[in-house]
Structure 1
Amino acid sequence: MTNHRIIYHNGRIFTSNPEQPNAEAMVVENGRIEWVGDDEKSESFEGERVNLNGHRVIPGFVDAHLHPLYLANSAKQIACTAPLVNSIEEMIVEVQKQRATQQAGEWIEGWGYDEGKLADGRSPMRHDLDKAVTDSPVIITRTCGHIIAVNSKALELAGITKDTPNPRGGEIDHDEHGEPTGILRENAKDLVIQKMPVLSIEENAERLAELTPFLFKRGITAITDLMARVAPIDYMELYEEARKRGLEHRTVLYYMWEDLEKSPILNKENTDRTKPTHIGGIKLFADGSVSGRTAWVNPSFSGDDDNQGISTTSSEELLAAAKMAKEHGIQVVVHAMGEQAIDQIVNTFADVDNWIEGAPSVRIEHAAMPTKHALEIAAKKGFAFVPQPVFLYAEIESYHNNLGIERTKTTYPVKTMLEAGIQVAFSSDAPATAWADPVDPFAGIQSAVTRIAYNGADTGQSERVSIETAIELYTRCAQEVTRIPDVGQLKVGYHADFIVLDQDILEVPAEKIAQVKVENTYLGGRLVYSNKN
Structure 2
Amino acid sequence: MPTFINGKIFVGTDPTSFVSAMKIEAGQVTWTGESSEVNDPDAINLEGKTVLPGLIDVHTHPKYIADALHGVACTPPNVNSIEEMKAALKQSPAFGKGPATWIEGWGFDETKLAEHRTPTVDDLDAVSTTQPIFVYRSDCHSSIGNSRALALAGITASTPDPVGGFIGHFPDGHPNGYMKEVAATQLLIQAKSAQSYRADVDNMTNSSAHYLENGIVAIGEMMGRTQPYDSLELYQDAVKDEFKPKASIYYVYDEVAGQGRLTPTDDPQLRIAGIKVFMDGSISGETAYNSVPYPSGIQGVCLTDADKLKQAVEFAQSNHLQVAVHAMGDAAIQLILDVTDQMTPWLTDWPSIRIEHASILSDAMLNQLNHARMNYALVTQPIFFFAEDESYRHFLSPEQFKEAYRVKSMIKSKAAFALSSDAPCTPWAEPDSPFVNIYAAVTRKASNGDVVNANEAITVPEAVLAYTNWPAKIGGFSSNGQLTPGCAGDFVILDRDIFLVPHDDIKDVRVVQTWMAGKRVY
Q: Which amino acid aligns with 2:394?
A: N
Describe the superposition over 1:247-288 as per-residue Cα deviations: whole angstroms up to 9, x where unpaired.
111111111112212335523xxx232431010111110000
- Which residue of 239, 243, 258 corresponds with 2:239? 243
- Tell me the equivalent position of 1:335: 326
- Tell me the equivalent position of 2:34: 38
Deviation (angstroms), 1:106: 5.8
Deviation (angstroms), 1:159: 5.5
- Which residue of 281, 286, 293 corresponds with 1:300? 293
- Which residue of 313, 319, 324 corresponds with 2:310? 319
Describe the superposition over 1:62-87 as per-residue Cα deviations: whole angstroms up to 9, x where unpaired.
11001111101112223322454321
Alpha carbons 1:154, 1:192 under 8 Å: kept: yes
Secondary structure of the structure 1 residue equivalent to 2:419? coil
Q: Which amino acid aligns with 1:56?
A: T
Q: Does 1:204 align with 2:178?
A: no
Deviates more, 1:119-128 or 1:417-426: 119-128
Separation in 2, partners of 1:210, 1:162 = 38
Alpha carbons 2:16, 2:461 under 8 Å: kept: no
The alignment's TM-score, normalised by the length of structure 2, stands at: 0.93
Deviation (angstroms), 1:401: 2.7
Alpha carbons 1:251, 1:278 under 8 Å: kept: yes
Deviation (angstroms), 1:329: 2.2
- Tell me the equivalent position of 2:344: 353
- Tell me the equivalent position of 2:365: 374
Cα separation, partners in 2 of 1:54 and 1:173, compared to 1, 3 Å? same
RMSD between superposed Cα atoms in Å = 2.4
- Tell me the equivalent position of 1:461: 454
Deviates more, 1:221-230 or 1:80-89: 80-89
Cα separation, partners in 2 of 1:37 and 1:442, compared to 1, 3 Å? same
Alpha carbons 2:362, 2:403 under 8 Å: kept: no
Separation in 2, partners of 1:105, 1:35 = 54
- Which residue of 67, 80, 84 corresponds with 1:90? 84
Secondary structure of the structure 2 residue equivalent to 1:227? strand
Deviation (angstroms), 1:39: 2.3
Cα separation, partners in 2 of 1:338 and 1:498, compared to 1, 3 Å? same
- Which residue of 250, 254, 262 corresponds with 2:250? 254
- Tell me the equivalent position of 1:75: 69
Separation in 2, partners of 1:210, 1:153 = 27
Q: Does 1:391 align with 2:384?
A: yes
Q: Does 1:148 align with 2:140?
A: no
Describe the superposition over 1:347-371 as per-residue Cα deviations: whole angstroms up to 9, x where unpaired.
1112321000132100011110123
- Tell me the equivalent position of 2:46: 52
Alpha carbons 2:316, 2:322 under 8 Å: kept: yes
Alpha carbons 1:343, 1:373 under 8 Å: kept: no
Separation in 1, partners of 2:212, 2:282 = 29
Separation in 2, partners of 1:92, 1:285 = 31
Separation in 1, partners of 2:406, 2:507 = 21
Q: Which amino acid aligns with 1:483?
A: G
% identity of equivalent residues: 37
Deviation (angstroms), 1:466: 0.3
Separation in 2, partners of 1:248, 1:426 = 21
Alignment of 1:264-283 (within 5 A): 264=260, 266-267=262-263, 271-283=264-276
The alignment's TM-score, normalised by the length of structure 1, stands at: 0.91
- Tell me the equivalent position of 1:484: 477
- Tell me the equivalent position of 1:362: 353
Alpha carbons 1:288, 1:295 under 8 Å: kept: yes
Alignment of 1:395-434 (within 5 A): 395-403=388-396, 407-434=400-427
Secondary structure of the structure 2 residue equivalent to 1:428? coil
Alpha carbons 1:296, 1:340 under 8 Å: kept: yes
Alpha carbons 1:290, 1:338 under 8 Å: kept: yes
Alpha carbons 1:95, 1:133 under 8 Å: kept: no
Separation in 1, partners of 2:100, 2:235 = 30
Secondary structure of the structure 2 residue equivalent to 1:353? coil
Alpha carbons 1:27, 1:42 under 8 Å: kept: no
- Tell me the equivalent position of 1:225: 221
Deviation (angstroms), 1:158: 4.9
Secondary structure of the structure 1 residue equivalent to 2:265? coil
Alpha carbons 2:361, 2:403 under 8 Å: kept: no
Separation in 1, partners of 2:432, 2:318 = 33
- Tell me the equivalent position of 1:17: 13
Secondary structure of the structure 1 residue equivalent to 2:309? helix
Separation in 2, partners of 1:275, 1:51 = 29
Deviation (angstroms), 1:163: 5.8
Describe the superposition over 1:208-245 as per-residue Cα deviations: whole angstroms up to 9, x where unpaired.
11122221111111112111112221111211111110
Secondary structure of the structure 2 residue equivalent to 1:223? strand
Separation in 1, partners of 2:271, 2:421 = 20
Alpha carbons 2:57, 2:420 under 8 Å: kept: yes
Q: Which runs of 5+ in 2 are unaligned?
A: none
Secondary structure of the structure 2 residue equivalent to 1:8? strand
- Which residue of 1, 7, 14 corresponds with 2:3? 7
Cα separation, partners in 2 of 1:203 and 1:194, compared to 1, 3 Å? closer
Alpha carbons 1:67, 1:226 under 8 Å: kept: yes
Q: Which amino acid aligns with 2:369?
A: A
Q: How many pairs align?
A: 518
Q: Does 1:284 align with 2:277?
A: yes
Separation in 2, partners of 1:470, 1:443 = 11
Secondary structure of the structure 2 residue equivalent to 1:255? strand
- Tell me the equivalent position of 1:128: 123
Deviation (angstroms), 1:325: 1.8
Deviation (angstroms), 1:116: 2.8
Q: Which runs of 5+ in 1 are unaligned?
A: none
Deviation (angstroms), 1:203: 2.4
Separation in 1, partners of 2:23, 2:99 = 59
Q: Which amino acid aligns with 1:447?
A: A
Cα separation, partners in 2 of 1:19 and 1:336, compared to 1, 3 Å? closer
Describe the superposition over 1:296-336 as per-residue Cα deviations: whole angstroms up to 9, x where unpaired.
112112x212x111111122222222223223322011111
Q: Does 1:524 align with 2:517?
A: yes
Structure 1 runs of 4+ aligned residues shifted over 6 Å read: none
Separation in 1, partners of 2:395, 2:124 = 25
Separation in 2, partners of 1:102, 1:28 = 47
Secondary structure of the structure 1 residue equivalent to 2:116? coil
Separation in 2, partners of 1:329, 1:501 = 38
Q: Which amino acid aligns with 2:48?
A: G
Separation in 1, partners of 2:262, 2:173 = 44
Secondary structure of the structure 2 residue equivalent to 1:233? coil
Deviates more, 1:404-413 or 1:503-512: 404-413
Separation in 1, partners of 2:97, 2:493 = 43
